[in-house]
């Protein structure tokens, strides 16, 4: 599996350099997302701009990433999806579960908005 990781203070940007997110790639992506989260990264943005095709095992990897990140109040953002991947997510009715944004920049904005919301929510508990 070919990918790059850009680690920032509030998030990590994972860019997948593969044309297919299928059964040959999905297990590696799952492992990598779990590892990144275990290293203390709260928010992950997954740039899928190079992915043209996704199958059910690819969707499974995306759901695993979403679950592990959300368990700690983080946000898992999918950015720059192909039409095929977008259609598959909609057909599977996962568009209401996953955070999908058109660009990585919008994903970064979503991370910062989530951080602000968490901080505001945290203050309510203390009052």
pLDDT by residue (tens digit) across 12-62?
A: 999 999 999 999 999 999 999 999 999 999 999 999 999 999 999 999 999
Question: pTM score, two decimals?
Answer: 0.91
**Strand 76-79 versus strand 44-47 pairing type:** parallel
Half-sphere exposure in the Cβ direction for 11 (13 Å, CA):
25
Domain span including residue 88 = 3-126
pLDDT by residue (tens digit) across 59-106?
A: 999 999 999 999 988 999 999 999 999 999 999 999 999 999 999 999
Contacts by 89-93, CB closer than 8 A, 24 or more apart? 89/59, 92/59
Q: What CATH number does residue 9 fall under?
A: 3.30.750.24
Question: pLDDT-derived band of residue 125, with 50, 70 and 90 as boundaries?
Answer: very low
Q: Angle between the 56-70 and 83-91 helix axes, to the nearest 10 degrees?
A: 80
Number of domains comprising the chain: 1
């Amino acid at each position: 599996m070919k990918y790059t990781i850009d680690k920032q203070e509030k998030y990590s940007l994972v860019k997948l350099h593969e044309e297919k997110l299928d059964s040959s790639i999905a297990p590696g992506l799952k492992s990598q997302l779990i590892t990144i989260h275990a290293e203390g990264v709260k928010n992950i943005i997954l740039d899928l701009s190079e992915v043209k095709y996704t199958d059910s095992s690819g969707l499974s990897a995306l759901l695993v990433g979403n679950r592990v990140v959300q368990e700690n109040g983080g946000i898992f953002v999918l950015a720059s999806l192909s039409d095929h991947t977008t259609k598959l997510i909609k057909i599977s009715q996962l568009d209401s579960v996953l955070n999908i944004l058109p660009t990585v920049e919008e994903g970064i904005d979503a991370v910062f908005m989530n951080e602000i919301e968490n901080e505001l929510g945290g203050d309510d508990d203390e009052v």
